[in-house]
Chain A
Amino acid sequence: MIAAECLVRALCDEGVTDIFGYPGAAIDPFLECLSTSDIAFTLMRSEGAAGLAANGYARTSHTIGVTAVTSGAGALNLLPAIACAYADSIPIVAITGQVRSFDVGTDAFQEADITGSAEPFVKYSYLIKEASDIPRIVKEAFYLASAGRQGPVLIDIPVDILQTECEYKPTSEIKLRSYNPTSEGNVFQIKKAAEIIAAAKRPLIIAGGGIHSSGAVKALADFTDFHNIPLVTTMMGLGIKNSLGLNIGMIGIHGNAHANAAVKEADTLILLGARAGERSIPDPTVTNGKEVIHVDIDPAEIGKNIIPTIPIVSDCRNFIEKLFSILSDKLFDKPWITAEKRIPQTPLDIYFDRLSELMKPDTIIAADVGNNQIAASKITAGRFLTSGGMGTMGYALPAAIGASVADRSRDIICIAGDGGFQMSFAELATIREKNLPIKIIIVNNNALGMVKDSAAAASQTALMNGFAVDMSKGNPDFALLAGCYSLTSETVTDFNTESIQKLLSADEAYLINLVI
């Protein structure tokens, strides 16, 4: 057996069923072995897209997304996807081929120091030096990607090592004396938090991405429903269901005014898996004079952007369950604030409201970056996938592919602007090849809309007037472009909602070029 086969075996032992990637000399021995394994390989049209597909896959399957690409430029193409997973705490394992071990450091063809380059954006990285280390390193990598605060782990493996003869000796034990993340909060602190919540008049939960990564969506809905405690979410926390109008909406500079007002009016803030980044809480002084209970699995997030009165290092689900067992008597007969019915401001809002009504509740929305993302964030149903921290343009289409590979039974809708879509439209080929029934809406304003809007706010007159943001002279006919890949498509210029019905009822992929 060669080491490449050991690597495949180790991945199978971790329960991996899908890998997204791109070939190249340094990774090919691995792909050759992969071809005869039970792991399905999705050939993406760029390495970066493979990394983003692994992201969408991980978030949909609640497992670890895996990507495998070659050395040099191939590996470097992964960097934005690795950084994107790091910023949003998404568990992925990236496997990169490397030049032969004796060529490392000689500026060999397609050599790049990928462990060094990726260092600021990975939870951990490995450069494999001995084939016999493969089972241990794979085991550790999967553990590290998913334990504590989730994130990307990189495994770089020289091609000569992949070809070394070796025996597969699986490891069951992980010995990492230096890594012991806390997932159960301090009982005393949780009791104190319960007392503060019980004494509060206007408690408000700020729910972030940690609710999804800890699988606490239901626990949170049960807790808030029972106690009538309202909640707001960050963009990463979108998609938390609440039937009673207790979810006031998204906060932050792109959030709704009512939700932001709730943060101001609350006397007690309970941050759950939310890092209180500057786009969510632009003014940290908003917490002054309030009780602030900050629950996060990463101690480094607590006290970084805002100063809590009660810091709790815990997995969100653990915390909510423990808190609920202490607070077993109903706290409020009615919530102190409820959601306001949002009045759609634009024809696009009306269009997306209609989409919200018509789509299945378990639909996955993969939104890109920009105004399209903000408009899509108003879609109240479904699971919302986006690049929240890094703002990786071109995210939506490959992430939708990852989501679709992870779960063919759910509807997947990709929403992207004409700018972001063009950063990854080559993935239409992957959709065609794999017959993935992904629904795509291009919100096409022939411009980089969000840049244009911020330019207006900053009085950058050249950009306001189209400099560096006008896409109209180069944009393709997107419906025709989809046609080139034999995908069904239409251009919609009047926001007609029949197009939504056609999109949702299509059995195969469907693209709407929504000209706004």
Chain B
Amino acid sequence: MLVENRFGVLSKIAGLFSRRGFNIASLAVGVTESPDVSRMTIVTDDESDAPERNFEQIRKQLSKMIDTIRVKALSEEECLSRELVLIKVSGDIESIKNTVKKTNTRVIDEDGEICTIEITDTPERVNKILSEFDEYELLETVRTGVISLQKGAKTLI
């Protein structure tokens, strides 16, 4: 969704999800090519009996907010999605580097037996890659949340 880049908008949107009983699986926000417009990519999942109807309701509630410029509901198949993950792992440095090579990821920092690795991929592949590092001691993880654009020529506005 595109929103006015104003004070308090993020809390309004997050609050709307929580008070309508919706779970936010991931939320990524950043300014767009226009500095007064922010773009949010929100991933939500719903295991209720009527997910489509619930989803339509949350879409309408989001659209109704004064600061909302555009909301578009997209399924996984319609988007190009990426997530950036940084992990800090400890273990045999050569072995870690082999796994990095195999998974096509990047070491961005090294301190003795501790490596910080950057992973950028689709959310699904990110999870697969992370499992490749299971054999090492995982010290810390940070994920940006998913960001998406529509496939092809389509844009939000």
Contact = CB atoms under 8 A, between A and B. Distances in A.
Interface of A: 115-116, 119-120, 123-124, 127, 144, 176-179, 298-300, 303-304, 307
A115 B66 CA distance: 15
A323 B73 CA distance: 33
Given A115-B8, A119-B12, A119-B15, A303 B68 contact: no
Nearest to A178: B69
A294 to B, nearest CB: 13
Given A115-B8, A116-B8, 14 more contacts: A116-B11, A119-B12, A120-B15, A123-B66, A127-B7, A177-B69, A178-B66, A178-B68, A178-B69, A300-B60, A300-B63, A303-B53, A303-B56, A304-B57
Given A300-B57, A300-B60, A119 B68 contact: no
Contacts of A144: 66
Q: B-side binding surface: helix, strand, loop or mixed?
A: helix
A119 B64 CA distance: 14
Contacts of B61: 300
Interface size class of B (residues with CB under 8 A): 10 to 19
Which interface residue of B3, B19, B66, B69 has the most chain A CB atoms within 10 A? B66
B33 to A, nearest CB: 16
29 contacts: A115-B8, A116-B8, A116-B11, A119-B11, A119-B12, A120-B15, A120-B19, A127-B7, A127-B8, A144-B66, A176-B66, A178-B3, A178-B4, A178-B66, A178-B67, A178-B68, A178-B69, A298-B64, A299-B60, A299-B63, A299-B64, A300-B57, A300-B61, A300-B63, A303-B53, A303-B56, A303-B60, A304-B60, A307-B53
Interface string B123-150: 0000000000000000000000000000
Contacts of B64: 298-300
Contacts of A115: 8
A261 B87 CA distance: 64
A210 to B, nearest CB: 16
Contacts of B4: 178
A127 B68 CA distance: 18
A299 B61 CA distance: 9
Nearest to B70: A178
Contacts of B11: 116, 119
Contacts of A298: 64
Interface string B37-77: 00000000000000001001100110110111100000000
A475 to B, nearest CB: 37
- Please give me the 4 A-B residue pairs with the lowest Cβ-Cβ distance, nearest first: A300-B60, A178-B69, A124-B66, A179-B66
A144 B12 CA distance: 17
Nearest to A307: B53
Nearest to A301: B60
Interface in B9-34: 11-12, 15, 19
A176 B6 CA distance: 13
A493 B88 CA distance: 80
A144 B67 CA distance: 12
Contacts of B12: 119
A115 B6 CA distance: 14
A119 B3 CA distance: 17
A179 B3 CA distance: 11
Contacts of B7: 127
A124 B68 CA distance: 12
A176 B3 CA distance: 12
Nearest to A304: B57
Nearest to A127: B7
A122 to B, nearest CB: 10
A46 B66 CA distance: 30
Contacts of B53: 303, 307
B61 to A, nearest CB: 5
A304 B12 CA distance: 21
B131 to A, nearest CB: 40
Nearest to B53: A303
Contacts of A300: 57, 60-61, 63-64
Contact of A303 (B8, B15, B57, B67): B57
